[in-house]
Structure 1
Amino acid sequence: MSANTKVSERDLLSEALGVSAATMTLHSKEPLGAGSVTGIEVPGAQNLLYYVDTSQITVAAETGWASEDTRVWMHPADPHLPALASISFDHAATALLERLGFTATSAPEFIAYRPGRRAVLRVAAGDESVWVKIVRPSRVESLVRAHTATADAGIGVPFVHGWSAEGMVIMSAAAGTPATDFAWEPETLLDETDRLRARFSSISWTKRSPGAERRIRWYESREVDGTADLLDSIRTLIGRIDGGRPRTVVHGDLHYGQLFLDDQGQICSVIDVDTLGIADPAEDAAAFAAHAIASARLTDAHNRARVWDLADGALARWGDDPLVRALTGVQLLGHLIAANDRRDADAADQLRASAHAVLDGRMPSTGAR
């Protein structure tokens, strides 16, 4: 069956498993390749998590059911991330870490997982934590080089203890306190972020970042209520921007959740530098602003105003550049589509309103606190 046919992922999984689609629950949905990868929980003695993948990305070996343009696998047997299943269980993690001189004292804990892209697990080893990042085998050498290049530029990153060609990287914890757990002041954190961005620009690196254009094309294929107007506004704004803009090395996914601070509130380390690339500096500014906007509504009431101040401060500082506004809109559009996929209508409405505000040159927190 063609992935372009109007058949839901639940129906595709129902056909593959012989289980009623009505009993299934949507877990997640993300863009991948030419299509998407959708997580669906299937009830049983234990809830089982399956993924329906219409990306049409070639893999070395299938780990589940596959047709010409759709594959289905059960977590953690992600065919794009062949190292994932081998580290997801206690005995495998223990054996691997022993070879690196660590004694695992807990089972692996999933911290983050983007199916088909990457996973992050944490394993306690005595008084410290060892972090395991799983990526596609084709990307692991670039990830390790990015860590080396970033460290060589004097930017703190987790130390790489070892890595494998299958796509596994074993790292230390980042130095400092996560910014999400620190009592920063918005303007102080933005000052620190500007200093970090300047240091990123000094990194010796040649790989280009794909930038926003690829995301825009995928979002156009995923039109939901209200996204067509946003896409029109984004393209109109981008169309007014003169060409010949400078390019520099950027983090590629910069936001305050990637930052770690010392006791004085200075950035002492940063994580997830596998997105390192040459791009317009507006990419990092927009990613930072959009993440703050999307996070503000999820932050506890005690900190919500501070995160809105961070979002407003980021746009006040960097938003005179129309490309920052346009790319912030692009980032928020991705959050909006994800909220729509989760059937979270309130979040989708708030993100849509925030995106329109940003594209119109207004502050997104107006009326949102």
Structure 2
Amino acid sequence: MEEPDRPDDEELLSSALGVPRDALRLISREPLGSGTVAGFRVTHTDDEQADPDGRGRSEGHPATSIAYVDTSATAVARETGLVLDGVARVWMHPADPHLPALVPAAFGEALGVLLARLGVEAVGAPEFVAYRPGRRAVLRVDTAEGPAWVKVVRPRRIERIVEAHRALEAAGLPLPRVRGWSQEGLLVIAQADGVPAPQAGWEPDALLDDVERLRERFAAAETGWTARTGVPERLAWYAERADDVMPQLTAQIARVRAACALGLTAQPEPRRTIHGDLHIGQLFLEQDSARITGIIDVDTAGQGDPAEDAGAFLSHAIASALLTVDERGARRMWALAEAASQRWRGERVDALTGIHLLGHALAAATAGDTSRARALLDQAEAVSAGEPVREPV
């Protein structure tokens, strides 16, 4: 006798929270463990009853909260929400069971206590900058010594991240200083030197020259672990979910998937230390010279395929060019993408770039931005097929 189909995420959440399905809006879905973690904006008819302590409530949306449905089957030290044995767990943001330090980090007074234990004096409330449910969160907080960045990660990963900072600093890489960390999965780092690269006056070829020197410094770093990238493994997942949210484009998605799979069969270069998620958003530059003065987010660093960094950089440049509204800024980003493709492209780089772009397209479609999703999918198809990178007419 066949087992009944597992309820979909919307049905699970509707039942768990006691709200109708039309009160739920999908905002994100990512692979995690052996399943996924899906985020939903929940509209409540009785806000106080649905979210009495306000923890899940979205700023500026007093009658909404954010909830997550987690089918990863990944073990956690302590559950923070509803557990449906063998099916899923449900939690309200920020009570992420994979990131036990997130709840205290998300509230100013509690974060101040945590930072004080690490010898850091907070002088302002924390600000959420980024969040990947089940994986990590990044907050910014003002301190007596200037701005600090607070990362919340899985407790079992924190020691390796600190070790990565030490190994890369020893190789001369310009990382921001680690100001403190705790076994609970909390890392506090100083502000990187310079200004964020998108705000600096760089020229494409000069910036890429500097990026190549940076990549050589990474290669010289001694790391005894594997980089946390996992991009090739995401291809099937991205394609299958893209089919679900863009059913009218399944033929194009299939072409991207086939081209990327073929490119991944090419022989990789020898493994070496890589950043793992290298792109312009990770770089800080000196304002006048536009030389690289800082590199951030080295959590993924380790031994890996050099094509991973090239693919991440190129795909991010293309995605950023498509997102940039300012015409001059968009042209400059396209020039960077085109110059990077001329230097670094190959079968594996093309495949990895295509996978990244497919993921960007899926995220855009999930968020309801169909025109951007189509543009990203067009770029994924072109790059993975070996066509030149160029600005759309």
- Give the aligned residue type for 1:52: V
Q: Report if aligned partners of 1:261, 1:269 keep a CA contact under 8 Å in 2.
A: yes
Is 1:215 matched up with 2:234? yes
Q: Report if aligned partners of 1:3, 1:69 keep a CA contact under 8 Å in 2.
A: no
Partner of 1:160: 178
1:273 counterpart SS class: coil
- Give the aligned residue type for 2:89: R
CA RMSD of aligned residues (A): 1.9
Q: Report if aligned partners of 2:94, 2:102 keep a CA contact under 8 Å in 1.
A: yes
- Give the aligned residue type for 1:363: P
Q: Report if aligned partners of 1:211, 1:279 keep a CA contact under 8 Å in 2.
A: no
- Give the aligned residue type for 2:279: H
Is 1:146 matched up with 2:164? yes
What is the alpha-carbon distance in structure 2 between the residues aligned to residue 362 and residue 232 of structure 1?
15
Q: Which moved more, 1:2-11 or 1:100-109?
A: 2-11
Among 323, 328, 331, which residue is 2:353 paired with? 328
Partner of 2:319: 294
Report the alpha carbon displacement of residue 265 of structure 1 after superposing the two structures with TM.
Answer: 1.1
Is 1:257 matched up with 2:257? no
Where in structure 1 are there 5+ consecutive unaligned residues? none
Change (3 A) 1:162 1:126: closer
What is the alpha-carbon distance in structure 2 between the residues aligned to residue 254 and residue 188 of structure 1?
17
Identity %: 46
2:264 counterpart SS class: helix
Q: Which moved more, 1:22-31 or 1:345-354?
A: 22-31
Is 1:234 matched up with 2:253? no
Is 1:122 matched up with 2:159? no
Is 1:64 matched up with 2:89? no
- Give the aligned residue type for 1:37: V
Partner of 2:41: 41
Partner of 1:363: 388
What is the alpha-carbon distance in structure 1 between the residues aligned to residue 224 and residue 111 of structure 2?
34
- Give the aligned residue type for 2:284: F
- Give the aligned residue type for 1:172: A
- Give the aligned residue type for 2:67: Y
What is the alpha-carbon distance in structure 1 between the residues aligned to residue 116 and residue 384 of structure 2?
52
Q: Which moved more, 1:183-192 or 1:286-295?
A: 183-192
1:7-37 Cα deviation digits (max 9, x unpaired): 4422221011110110222222222122211
1:103 counterpart SS class: coil
Partner of 1:11: 11
Report the alpha carbon displacement of residue 220 of structure 1 after superposing the two structures with TM.
Answer: 4.7
What is the alpha-carbon distance in structure 1 between the residues aligned to residue 181 and residue 151 of structure 2?
9
Partner of 2:32: 32
Aligned residues: 364
What is the alpha-carbon distance in structure 2 between the residues aligned to residue 55 and residue 192 of structure 1?
40
Among 307, 312, 328, which residue is 2:338 paired with? 312
Where in structure 2 are there 5+ consecutive unaligned residues? 48-61, 244-249
1:98 counterpart SS class: helix
What is the alpha-carbon distance in structure 2 between the residues aligned to residue 156 and residue 237 of structure 1?
33
Give the alignment's TM-score, normalised by structure 2: 0.88
What is the alpha-carbon distance in structure 2 between the residues aligned to residue 130 and residue 4 of structure 1?
50
